[in-house]
Structure 1
Amino acid sequence: MRVLPHRPARPRRRLAAAAASLTAAVALFLGAGAAPAQAGGLPLPVAYSPTNGVIPALADPASSPPGANDWSCRPSSAHPYPVVLVHGTFGDMRDNWDSMAPLLYDNGYCVFALNYGGPSGNVIQGIDDIPTGAAQLSAFVDQVLAATGAAKVDIVGHSQGGMMPRYYIGFLGGAAKVHTLVGLAPSSHGTTLDGLVTLAQNTGTQGLVNSLVSAACTACVQQESGSGFVSRLDSLPDTVAGVNYTVIETEYDAVVTPYQSSFLSGSGVHDIDLQQQCALDFTGHVGIAFDPNALGDVLNALDPAHPVWVPCVWYSPGL
């Protein structure tokens, strides 16, 4: 009988298994000791994957992410500010917040999320005029405050959703209603779209390109570096007194470029470069909203008085 030599597991499989084990450990740690906002509620599973919520979002674009939009929720003394989640361009609340919403719920927050900037019932949101989207956010915040009795809200936003609330704060009276703003890869000062905007400018084709793009996505053109919208937003200080700001960004962001344009300056700002914090983190623009390293930073930004351990685990959404 021929004895076959033992073949060790392939490195990629070993890496995948190790990553899965680490992510599971992180999930347990980030939720350790947490109590859901609703008395008697059971903890929700948290899958740190950008694909987990896609099928539910396609099936029902108006559906809420797990743990969000329970209008009977009342904030606890430990977490007195309900959290409003604001999705990014082309996203919607269901797919963008499939990880963040249940994690916040498991940590005792009242969590709310909205769709904005797109046709009702459409899975593609965040594409219409940004100031109009900010007005939708304003109305939603008022609804959350009225339902919960809270004095202010905390906002966590991804991409456009991390930038647009600054328009709400600066131009629509949001400064009196927002306690903390956390941006995950926000387009704070616009983007060159990995150099495509600069190329169009240098070749004299920007007007033509923008006219074509804006027909399908007004918000895309408004987020270009140097646009009229970005110039108006930049006319304001980056920060407003009384609001706490945290920006979490990845050096591998190929959508908001240069990635440093996400960061804010001013008092009360905490800018976090994920790779300076954890060299094992390879997340990009989309994956940052599902990254256990980044989501640990979000928990600490919302409750700095009771910090959790922020993990440093290998994370690549492609796996």
Structure 2
Amino acid sequence: MKVTRAVSPLLPLCQRLLPGRIAGLSLALLKATALEIAILAGHLLLYPTGITPERRPAPNPPGTPTDLTDSTDTGTRTGTDTRKGTGTGIDGTPDTTRLPTPTRPPVVLLHGFIDNRSVFVMLRRSLAQHGRQQIESLNYSPLTCDIRTAAELLGRHIEEICERTGRHEVDIVGHSLGGLIARYYVQCLGGDVRVRTLVTLGTPHSGTRVVPLMNAHPIVRQMRPGSGVLDELCQPAPHCRTRFVSFWSDLDQLMDPLETACIEHPDLLVQNVRVSGIGHLALPVHPAVAAGIRQALDAEETEARPAAARPAAHADGLTVA
């Protein structure tokens, strides 16, 4: 990655001063930090573009088959025309010969603390280029002070999306706090009926102890170990149908301890994916992580989930730097 070359003059000095293993970790940390700074600078420029809610596509007109979706709010098509025949819109006659379209559910992107939908510019472009026709980014207020309230709002948004698109389920990708809000909706508010797959990126599932001075904010206190919200997420969930995929980074500066970004719950179908070489801000931006997210969303269930509890699965690591 080009942004990491800025630290190259420091590499020989670090290698001389530090033992091999520590030096390797320090070099990786330097590279990740340089990348985080570059991403932060770019995100600050894009931040104003994501303050306002995105424009929603018009709902399907009455009589439109619910399994046919040939447009997206991103304005990107997959390149395959799902309409066949000559009477398609020009003369106003109904199209009676349509090819089936992919049955992939809409993807809902949910940002983190004091952020907005602009953080997903690169990810949604990647998803659209690889065939996702319906992608929506939701903003919740930076003044939000309760994860439970935000989860209820998310539930109303998802009901509206399902009604508008004619789909029964959605996939969610949540970064940081966004993943925790989505998980609360799925586990505690019956959202597993609507959410097929939930992908979380750097989400403090077990609570993070970083930056104690931030405890003045109520929602930060809810992200601390032992909070009431996290205790609720530890309760049994034997009938939860949603599949969880959690990406966590071994250089995430906002997760303390690092493993807090893993989901450990005996009743949930979970895959934890370790990412090496990048920090917290890079998780929704890096192309290698985007490829992992696409793979997670496109994964097909090859066998029915057994009635008994299934432990979390730890996937192979993903090295991106």
TM-score w.r.t. the length of structure 1 is: 0.65
**Displacement of 1:305 after TM fit?**
4.6
Structure 2 unaligned segments of length 5 or more: list them. 9-37, 61-68, 71-99, 302-316
**Are 2:44 and 1:54 aligned?**
yes
Cα distance in 2, alignment partners of residues 271 and 219 from structure 1: 25
**Alignment counterpart, residue 103 of structure 1, candidates 122, 126, 135:** 126
Which of 155, 163, 179 matches 2:172? 155
Contact 2:151 2:184 in 1 (8 A): yes
CA distance in 2 between partners of 1:53 and 1:81 (Å) = 28
Partner of 1:285: 280
Match of 1:231 in 2: 231
Aligned-partner SS, 1:154 = strand
Q: Give the CA deviation at 1:312.
A: 5.0
Deviation at 1:176, TM superposition (A): 0.6
Alignment size in residue pairs: 235
Answer yes or no: is 1:113 the counterpart of 2:137: yes
Cα 1:138/1:220, change in 2 over 3 Å: same
- 1:225: Cα distance to partner? 1.0
Question: Aligned in 2, Cα 1:311/1:219: closer, same or farther, shift over 3 Å?
Answer: closer
Distance 1:88 1:236, change over 3 A: farther
Which AA in structure 2 matches 1:99?
M
User: What TM-score does the superposition give when structure 2 sets the normalisation length?
Assistant: 0.65
Question: How has the CA–CA distance of structure 1 residues 111 and 71 changed in structure 2, closer, same or farther, with 3 Å as cutoff?
Answer: farther
Higher Cα radius of gyration:
2
Deviation readout 1:228-261 (Å, 9 max, x if unpaired): 2222222244x85321110001011121211111
Contact conserved, 1:57 with 1:63, CA < 8 A, in 2?
no
Q: Which residue of the partner structure matches residue 173 of structure 1?
A: 190
What is the alpha-carbon distance in structure 2 between the residues aligned to residue 190 and residue 242 of structure 1? Answer: 24
Query: What is the distance in 1 between the residues matched to 2:157 and 2:113?
Result: 18
Q: In the aligned structure 2, how far is the partner of 1:70 from the partner of 1:14?
A: 45
Q: 1:210-221 to 2 correspondence within 5 Å?
A: 210=215, 213-214=216-217, 218-221=218-221
Instruction: Show the counterpart of 2:92.
Output: none
Give unpaired runs (5+ residues) of structure 1.
Answer: 1-10, 16-47, 119-124, 201-208, 276-281, 315-319
Confirm or deny: 8 A CA contact 2:144 2:150 kept in the other structure.
no
Following TM superposition, by how much is the alpha carbon of 1:288 offset from its aligned partner in structure 2, in angstroms? 1.1
Cα deviation 1:128-166 (Å, max 9, x = unaligned): 211111011001101110111011000000001111111
Which position in structure 2 is the counterpart of 1:93? 117
Would you say the 8 A contact 1:247–1:264 is kept in 2?
A: yes
RMSD (Å) for aligned C-alpha atoms: 3.1
User: Cα distance 1:311–1:248, how it changes in 2: closer, same or farther (>3 A)?
Assistant: closer
Q: 1:69 Cα shift?
A: 4.6
**CA distance 1:153–1:51, change in 2 (3 Å):** farther
Alpha-carbon contact 2:117-2:137 (below 8 Å) kept: yes
Identity of aligned pairs, percent?
A: 24
In structure 2, the residue matched to 1:251 is 250
- The answer (yes or no) to whether the contact 2:59–2:165 under 8 Å persists in 1 is yes
1:54 deviation in Å? 3.2
